[in-house]
């Protein structure tokens, strides 16, 4: 398995060079790719220049025996967008897919919105089945597999005219039989629906495109959670992330595993410190899953915030430029809705 680093899933953004530096520093072995930005770089600067940072990381950033690489990239458009825009986006997808293939980005993910204001469940189901097949076929030409994720919280579909896919069983029904389409295993969204690692028994390992881990507050019922209630893995242990990782290891899963949280958990904190905490939490999950020496647990404990630390945070001691020490601030709220 790859410990995968995604700034988007932690609620902030950073230039690619800083993402790679943070990932290497905190012992992640892959990063997610912004395919739109990478595609723009290829167009303006050429493939050789656009891929230079990633190639350099692959050479220099080996963690243990794992080679550094790309975890996933998001499909650069929504499945349910209007037909004219969808047709336009489909025309540019093959070029982006070829660029992704060249740097080894072979896992693409897309989110299914849990509602529609215009289509009934059946109409929406048929639209998604048709488009998923078309998208997966285009990606498959470049050996890229498509993974589909669902959004579980009731608040995400509240007051909408038509509900849509929001459980794992509904998701597997949606993608069943579509060539080159798998699923995203998101421990937090599964927890919201009252399920856990037992769902892994329902899916072949080759159909797991990526895995995401997050925890939830112990004092909020699973059914009442909102997207803002996502915490780093191993925070409260309400979500048994270690059980997921242990089962995935037993199954022989070799893909990316990404820590997630709502960015507002770290509003005002330096980006590099958020990355450090994410790395430490992943180490704790690996230890609890029996995949790292247990005697190292004390080394990987996340330090409690001291009074001095709190005072420093209140003073806003981040660097004023766009370096890796930039604070997580308003960008958290800008990304939270898209990082379900």
Q: What is the pLDDT of residues 75-95, one digit of tens each?
A: 999 999 999 999 999 999 999
Instruction: Please tell me the predicted confidence (pLDDT) of residue 298.
Output: 54
Which two structure tokens, joined as six digits, stand for 42? Answer: 């290829």
pLDDT tens-digit series, residues 207-254: 999 999 999 999 999 999 999 999 999 999 999 999 999 999 999 999
Q: What do you get for the CA distance between the two ends of the chain, in Å?
A: 22
Q: Residue 215: what are its φ and ψ, rounded to 5°?
A: -110, 175
CB burial string 99-125: b at 16+ within 10 A, e below: bbeebbbbbbbbbbbbbbeebeeeebb
The owner of tokens 């997966």 is 136
Give the angle subtended at the CA of 327 by the CAs of 323 and 328, to the nearest 5°.
120
Q: What is the pTM of this model?
A: 0.87
Q: Hey, what's the torsion of the CAs at 99, 104, 107, 111, to 10 degrees?
A: -40
Q: Is pLDDT of 116 > 70? A: yes
Where are the domains positioned within the chain? 2-336
pLDDT tens-digit series, residues 262-292: 999 888 899 999 999 999 999 999 999 999 8
Give the angle subtended at the CA of 58 by the CAs of 19 and 209, to the nearest 5°.
75
Q: What dotted CATH number matches 2-336?
A: 3.20.20.150
Average pLDDT for the chain:
88
Share of residues in the chain with pLDDT > 90 (%): 79
Q: Is pLDDT of 258 > 50? A: yes
């Amino acid at each position: 398995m790859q410990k995968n680093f995604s700034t988007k899933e932690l609620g902030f953004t950073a230039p690619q060079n800083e993402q790679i530096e943070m990932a290497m520093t905190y012992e992640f072995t892959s990063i997610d790719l912004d395919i739109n930005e990478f595609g723009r770089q290829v167009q303006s600067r050429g493939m050789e220049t656009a891929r230079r940072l990633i190639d350099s990381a692959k050479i220099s950033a080996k963690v243990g025996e794992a080679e550094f690489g790309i975890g996933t990239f998001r499909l650069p458009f929504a499945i349910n967008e209007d037909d004219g825009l969808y047709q336009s986006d489909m025309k540019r997808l093959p070029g982006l897919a070829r660029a992704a293939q060249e740097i080894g980005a072979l896992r693409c993910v897309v989110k299914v919105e849990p509602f529609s204001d215009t289509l009934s469940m059946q109409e929406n189901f048929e639209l998604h089945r048709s488009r998923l097949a078309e998208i997966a076929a285009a990606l498959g030409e470049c050996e890229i597999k498509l993974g589909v994720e669902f959004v579980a919280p009731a608040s995400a579909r509240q007051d909408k005219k038509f509900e849509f896919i929001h459980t794992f069983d509904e998701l597997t029904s949606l993608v069943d039989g579509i060539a080159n389409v798998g699923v995203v295993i998101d421990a937090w969204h599964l927890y919201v629906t009252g399920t856990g690692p037992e769902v892994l028994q329902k899916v072949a390992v080759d159909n797991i495109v990526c895995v995401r881990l997050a925890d939830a507050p112990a004092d909020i019922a699973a059914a009442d959670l909102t997207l803002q209630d996502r915490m780093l893995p191993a925070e409260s242990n309400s979500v048994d992330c270690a059980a997921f990782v242990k089962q995935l290891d037993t199954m022989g899963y070799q893909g990316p595993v990404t820590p997630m949280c709502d960015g507002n958990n770290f509003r005002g904190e330096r980006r590099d410190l958020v990355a450090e905490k994410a790395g430490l939490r992943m180490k704790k999950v690996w230890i609890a899953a029996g995949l790292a020496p247990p005697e190292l647990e004390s080394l990987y404990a996340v330090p409690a915030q001291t009074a001095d630390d709190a005072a420093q945070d209140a003073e806003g001691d981040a660097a004023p430029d766009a370096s890796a020490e930039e604070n997580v601030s308003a960008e958290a709220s800008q990304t939270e809705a898209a990082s379900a």
